A and B are shown apart, each in its own frame.
Chain A
């Protein structure tokens, strides 16, 4: 479908709203792709029952309490455990042998949303015997999502899919060993997040915080425009150790990025890249 041309009023309203959020709270959405922003703002507008985005802007400015909710609308938080099982299989079979040569490891899940990705990696690392020496960083801009990620509670009806994904990713132990189900929900074992740090971090404005060996940032860049994508990939590049790994979503690629030269394709089909060593 060709995107519907933005009505100028809409465009102005979106711009003003984003500017308001940026100035008031410091969340910068200017680099996000317009088409998806428009869809998500329409949802938010309906949710907050505002007749127009200008009214929504008014509310956001006056009622800081609704910001977290609005943020969870603006950031896409749909993920599954072991989403794209082949990606995780590739990590398991191709990347882990390299990671095993480091005495301690750091993994950064950029844009971790509600934590599915991070738990998947934690489970995978436990199964591969790396968990004890690994520290996971899960970062997102939405405090609400981070709270959910910290809780690690998912609805029980998603477990069937999770279990199948886990199995297809090469999981060795039944997924049920990692969670306790009750009252229609499943809570993942606390031990999985013992090695995890959840933190508020924006790929738009913040900088590198640690040297890491693996960055998993899946289906985040698609919501960014090119300049912002470049910035984010630059952060990953600066964070990664020489020969460190970067995993992207199935529709994302570094091919057109300004930093493409700093990486080589490691598992091209699963969008796993390796940072080149500076020789």
Chain B
């Protein structure tokens, strides 16, 4: 039975049977020969409607039997042979029809089966259609196949990452142990997967698996396991449990659908994957969006910040512009101030000059007066004596009138004498010739004397005169009694003179600070306030007219003031016009002979009060005998600060040194003081002071020798030196380079002037630039370019002119064109460098020609800066010149430093040695040369390995000096240091040649490589000169 055979219609069977029986009966009844058998075709034809292909054949056999029986048992009639033939023919026909029927039915069955399979496929494809998730797809497929194949249970496994997972099951009881996943080769299902073919398991054993309904359980009879594939890859497996046996059609169907299910699974998988990817993309897109948003925000923030930045930058620029403006204004003001300052200084100097002249005149006047009064007094004396003789009239030959005349002459002469004495006193005091002779003065006696003198005078004018001593006043004074008395007398006589009525009182009292006050109080005419000062001036009285009324020279108060000051005291006036006056004289109780309170009208270069020498440094004085003179002053050497300029004073006179020290401080210098020439030089070298004040007469050496040494030393030659000497050395000093010269004794103002001059020299130096250029137009334009208020330019159009100019003037910087009419720039530079001991200024080469490497190398020895003329060259020239002029003068160009070094730091190990420097960097070549040459070594230079080899070859030839040591750079053009060193080591004669590699590399491997290439040692750049020197000393062959 197959599922394609339809239930046979019983009527059809009956009809077949009936027709066969009818034909048989009829055949039996009819004699042979009648072709009744023909009707046997009817049942066979009827069998065509049946579904079993065997039936026509069975029928054929049956009917054959029937026909034979009909032949045998039918009544024989007619021709037998004919009948046999007939019957045989009938049989043949029958079998032919039966065969046809058989084939027909079979074909019919096949067509049905095909149809079944196809419809199964079609329906399955309908089931598969649409986007279904995996598990739903599995369910649907399983459900359909179970229904279509009449399976009772089923399971569907799909391939996933590892193995196969059950995605769907059909009618599988919940408690059954159907595995969730299987692996290829595992069990029957696994085997199906592995082999890629279907398995049929018939007659499943008992207990294998049971399917149940609510009412009971039964077990499937057969199992069908089939893999599904896509592109021949197994991606799923299907197991069905059947109760009916497995038909070939089932397998056929499954074979047919396996591929489409597989593809559906794959597309479902792909779809799922796609979906996942899509989701992922979505998620990422979203993330991207977020990030781009963040980015946008931060971008905006950045933009905002940059806007703010720009804004603040603009503001800053604005401020800067304003600042610049202010700066300009300030500098303009500063310039003006400076000018005013200069004017002031000039005016001050003039004033001081005038003052000096005045002082001089006043001294002359005093001298003159002193002399004159003496000269006057001599004849006056004689005339007084003679007048007195006349007035006595001893011979008695004169008339009373004549006697009167003689008395008048005498009185007038006395007045004149008083006047002269007064003038003399005054001029004595002013000339400083008045001496004070201090002694104990009992106050009581002094007052008694005064009383005795003035009592009668007062009584004459009906005035009261009193003297009184306040309690607590010391009894005696220690002062010059004559001078004190003179002052008091003068004031008292004035008081009496200018008082018409009332009283004159002299009161003595004690005052603060060990002083005694004498007050003279009167009730006279008084002095108007505006005249209080005037009355103390010589030759002045309160009123020009007073003289006539009261007489007197008007010198009294001046003299009094001078005298009181001489005694260390002072005199004061309290007075009001018409209400009397009070003169108060205050003098120290004990006259101090050590001090003179008076301001000396002419400052002397000796301090009246020498300070004791500083303690603690007695050993600083080399000669005990000179201890007093050269004991060092306390100076600033222990507390020097960088900010302020330093003045060095070389002066053995301690007191004068002290004056200079104080003055230096006053003018804002720190000050070092040296008492000897040697100490001075040491200090100058140690501290590089900004200025030197130098005494010529020093204990150990002449100041001029010191000056000479200072000027010969490159470290100190720039320091301005001012010479002070007691004798005339100015010409020599100035010739040797001093800034100025002063003759002792020196006035304070002169000193200030000297400091000022030093200071000016320090701050406002006009720089000089020499431009050497043959083309006059170019020369002019260069001078215009470089010249300014601070820069003076000199021009030279030929080498000769240049040399001449350099001899005549000091030049700070020189700009040199290489093309000159009389000599090339090279030879000019060589000439300059050979003029020994006369270092030439820094040179800037300014040339229109392209220089070869060799030429450049040659020029580099003399010039740090080479400029090729071009579009931007003026800019650079200006730059370089400015730079040279601004650098500290002590920072001398290496050529000069080299000269300096040459003199002091020769090194025994390097002396006379030949060192080959292989280095292409100008800066380093310069540095190395300037370190090595001053120490006595000769330096040969090679710019790369090839040149180094050539230089070594040359040096090996007899006239040349052999190279003692090689300093080898590594990074060089043409041939690098490694190669060069290897090449050198290859030659047997250079096996032992010491080589020191100079490398910029820090890695130890590089340094190892240096050693491997043949270096004896290496030194890392930037070069440490000390290390380099010690390495050279180590490796230099002895």
Q: Do the two chains belong together in a single complex?
A: yes
Q: A: which residues have CB within 8 A of B?
A: 1-2, 25-26, 97-98, 100-104, 133, 135, 137, 195-197, 199-202, 205-211, 238, 242-243, 277-279
A97-B872, A103-B856, A277-B879 as given contacts; A199 in contact with B976, CB under 8 Å: yes
Interface pick from B183-191, B196-204, B471-479, B1000-1008: B1000-1008
Task: Knowing A2-B294, A100-B871, A101-B873 are in contact, say whether A135-B882 is a contact too (CB < 8 A).
Answer: no
- Which residue of the partner chain, among B872, B922, B1022, contacts A100 with CB atoms under 8 Å? B872
B883 touches A97 (CB 8 A): no
Q: Which residue of B lies closest to A241 (CB)?
A: B923
Known: A101-B873, A211-B922. Contact between A206 and B1001, CB under 8 A?
A: yes
* Bound Cα distance A137, B882 (Å): 31
Given known contacts A103-B856, A206-B1001, A206-B1002, what 12 new A-B pairs fall within 8 Å (CB)? Answer: A1-B291, A26-B1003, A98-B875, A103-B851, A104-B851, A196-B973, A197-B973, A207-B1021, A208-B1000, A209-B921, A209-B1021, A279-B886
A234 to chain B, nearest CB (A): 12
Q: Which listed residue (A2, A100, A104, A196) contacts B856, Cβ 8 A? A: A104
**Interface size counted on chain B using CB atoms at 8 A:** 41
CB of B972 closer than 8 Å to a CB of A: yes
Among candidates A101, A104, A135, residue contacting B872 with C-beta atoms closer than 8 Å: A101
Q: Which of B270-300 contact A (CB under 8 A)?
A: 291, 294
Query: Would you call B876 an interface residue if the criterion is a C-beta within 8 Å of the partner chain's C-beta atoms?
Result: yes
Contact A97/B1000 with A104-B853, A195-B973 known, Cβ cut-off 8 Å: no
Closest A-B pairs by Cβ, 10 of them: A209-B1000, A26-B1003, A100-B870, A103-B851, A210-B921, A205-B1002, A211-B923, A97-B871, A101-B873, A97-B872
19 A-B contacts, Cβ less than 8 Å apart?
A: A26-B1003, A26-B1004, A98-B872, A100-B871, A102-B867, A103-B855, A135-B973, A195-B973, A197-B973, A197-B976, A200-B1001, A201-B1001, A202-B1001, A206-B1000, A209-B921, A209-B1000, A209-B1021, A211-B922, A278-B883
Write out the residue numbers on chain B whose beta carbons fall within 8 Å of the beta carbon of A133: 850-851
Q: Is chain A's interface secondary structure helix, strand, loop, or mixed overall?
A: loop
A103→B863 CA distance, assembly (Å): 12
A279 — which chain B residues lie within 8 A by C-beta? 882-883, 886
* Chain A residues near B879 (CB-CB < 8 A): 242-243, 277
Interface centre among A1, A2, A100, A279 (most CB of B within 10 A): A100
User: Which residues of the other chain, A, contact B870 by a CB distance below 8 angstroms?
Assistant: 97, 100-101
B782 to chain A, nearest CB (A): 14
Assess the A209–B971 pair: CB atoms within 8 A: yes
Q: Which of A103, A200, A238 has the most CB of B within 10 A?
A: A103
How far, in Å, is B317 (CB) from chain A's closest CB? 13
The reply on B899 being an interface residue by CB < 8 A is no
- Please, which residues of chain A bring their CB within 8 A of the CB of B873? 100-101
Kindly state whether residue B1020 has any CB partner on chain A within 8 Å. Answer: yes
CA distance A205 to B972 in the complex (A): 20
Q: How far is the CA of A137 from the CA of B970 in the complex (A)?
A: 13
Whether B1011 is near chain A, meaning CB under 8 Å from some CB there, is no
| B1022 and A102 form a contact (CB under 8 A) | no
- Looking at the assembled complex, report how far the CB atom of A184 sits from the nearest CB atom of chain B, in whole angstroms: 32
A102 touching B868 in the complex, CB below 8 Å, given contacts A201-B1001, A208-B1021, A210-B971? yes
Contacts of B876 in A (CB 8 A): 98, 101, 243
- Bound Cα distance A145, B1002 (Å): 20
A243 contacts which chain B residues (CB < 8 A)? 876, 879
* Complex contacts, A206 vs chain B, CB 8 Å: 1000-1003
By beta carbon, the residue of chain B nearest A26 is B1003
Q: Are A211 and B971 in contact (CB under 8 A)?
A: no
Q: Mark B845-877, 1 if CB is under 8 A from A, else 0.
A: 000001101011001000000111111110110
Residue contact A101 to B869, C-beta cutoff 8 Å = yes
Most chain A CB within a 10 A radius of its CB, from B866, B872, B873, B1005: B872
- Whether B920 is near chain A, meaning CB under 8 Å from some CB there, is yes
As a 0/1 sequence over residues 150 to 164 of chain B, the CB contacts with chain A under 8 angstroms (1 = contact) are 000000000000000
Most buried by A among B855, B875, B970, B971: B971
CA distance A204 to B867 in the complex (A): 34
When distances are taken between beta carbons in the complex, the residues of chain A under 8 Å from B1001 are 200-202, 205-207
Bound complex: CA of A1 vs CA of B291, how far in Å? 6
Output the nearest chain A residue to B292 by Cβ-Cβ distance.
A1
In the complex, what's the smallest C-beta–C-beta distance from B879 to chain A, in angstroms?
A: 6
Given A98-B872, A197-B971, the answer on whether A207 and B1002 have CB atoms closer than 8 Å is: yes
Residues of chain A within 8 A of B1022, CB atoms compared = 207-208, 238
A97-B920 Cα distance, complex, nearest whole Å: 24
* A-chain residues with CB within 8 Å of residue B875 when the two chains form the complex: 98
Residue of B at shortest CB range from A212? B921
Complex Cα distance, B635 from A202, in Å, reads 53
The CA of A211 and the CA of B924, in the complex, are separated in Å by 9
Closest A residue, CB atoms, query B1004: A26
CB proximity to A under 8 Å, residues B924-947: 924
Assuming the contacts A209-B921, A279-B882, asked whether A102 and B291 have C-beta atoms less than 8 A apart, the reply is no
Question: A143: shortest Cβ distance to chain B, in Å?
Answer: 12
B866 touching A103 by the CB < 8 A rule?
yes
| Closest-CB distance, A248 to chain B (whole angstroms) | 18
Chain B residue at smallest Cβ distance from A235 = B1000
Closest to A102 in B: B868
Residues of A contacting B869 in the complex (Cβ-Cβ under 8 angstroms): 101
- Nearest CB of chain B from residue A22's CB, rounded to whole Å: 10
**Contact (A100, B883) CB under 8 Å given A206-B1001, A208-B1000, A209-B971:** no
- In the complex, which residue of chain A has the Cβ closest to the Cβ of B871? A97
B 985-1013 to A, binary, CB cutoff 8 A, 1 in contact else 0: 00000000000000011111100000000
Which residues of B are found within 8 Å of A202, using beta-carbon distances?
1001-1003
Contacts of B971 in A (CB 8 A): 137, 197, 199, 201, 209-210
Interchain CA distance A101-B845 in the complex, whole Å: 11
User: Judging by beta carbons under 8 Å apart, are A2 and B291 in contact?
Assistant: yes
Complex Cα distance, B867 from A133, in Å, reads: 13
Write out the residue numbers on chain B whose beta carbons fall within 8 Å of the beta carbon of A2: 291, 294
Q: In the complex the two chains form, what is the Cα distance from A196 to B920 in whole Å?
A: 13
- Among B853, B923, B970, B973, chain A packs the most CB atoms within 10 A around the CB of B973
The smallest beta-carbon distance between A275 and chain B, in angstroms, is: 12
Binary A-proximity of B770-792 (CB < 8 A = 1, otherwise 0)? 00000000000000000000000
Contacts of A205 in B (CB 8 A): 1001-1003
Q: For the complex, what is the distance from the CA of A98 to the CA of B871, rounded to whole Å?
A: 8
User: Which chain A residue has the least Cβ–Cβ distance from B919?
Assistant: A210
Task: Report how far A257 CA is from B451 CA in the complex, Å.
Answer: 95
Per-residue 0/1 for B123-135: is the Cβ within 8 Å of any A Cβ (1 yes, 0 no)? 0000000000000
Look across to chain A and name the residue whose beta carbon is closest to the beta carbon of B1021. Answer: A207
Decide yes or no: A101 and B868 within 8 Å by CB, A137-B971, A211-B923, A243-B876 being known contacts. yes
Chain A neighbourhood of B850, CB < 8 A: 103, 133
Given contacts A98-B876, A101-B870, contact A211 B1002 (CB under 8 A): no
Give complex CA distance A209, B1020 in Å: 10
A197 to chain B, nearest CB (A): 5
| Residues in A neighbouring B294, C-beta threshold 8 A | 2
- Measured CB to CB, the nearest residue on chain A to B859 is A103
Instruction: List, in ascending order, chain A residues with CB within 8 A of B973's CB.
Output: 135, 195-197
- Contact: A207 with B1000, CB < 8 Å? yes
A57 to B879, CA, bound (A): 54
* Complex CA distance for A206 and B886, rounded to whole angstroms: 33
- Bound form: Cα–Cα A200–B971 in Å: 9
The minimal Cβ–Cβ distance linking A191 to chain B, given in whole angstroms, is: 14
Q: Bound complex: CA of A197 vs CA of B859, how far in Å?
A: 25
- Whether the Cβ atoms of A103 and B868 lie closer than 8 Å is yes
Contact (A207, B883) CB under 8 Å given A97-B870, A197-B976, A201-B1000 = no
B855 neighbours in A (Cβ, 8 Å): 103
Q: Which residue of A lies closest to B1000 (CB)?
A: A209
Collect the chain B residues with CB atoms within 8 Å of residue A101's CB: 867-870, 872-873, 876
**Contact between A135 and B920 (Cβ–Cβ < 8 Å)?**
yes
- How far apart are A204's CB and chain B's nearest CB, in angstroms? 9
A211 and B969 CA atoms in complex are apart in Å by 13
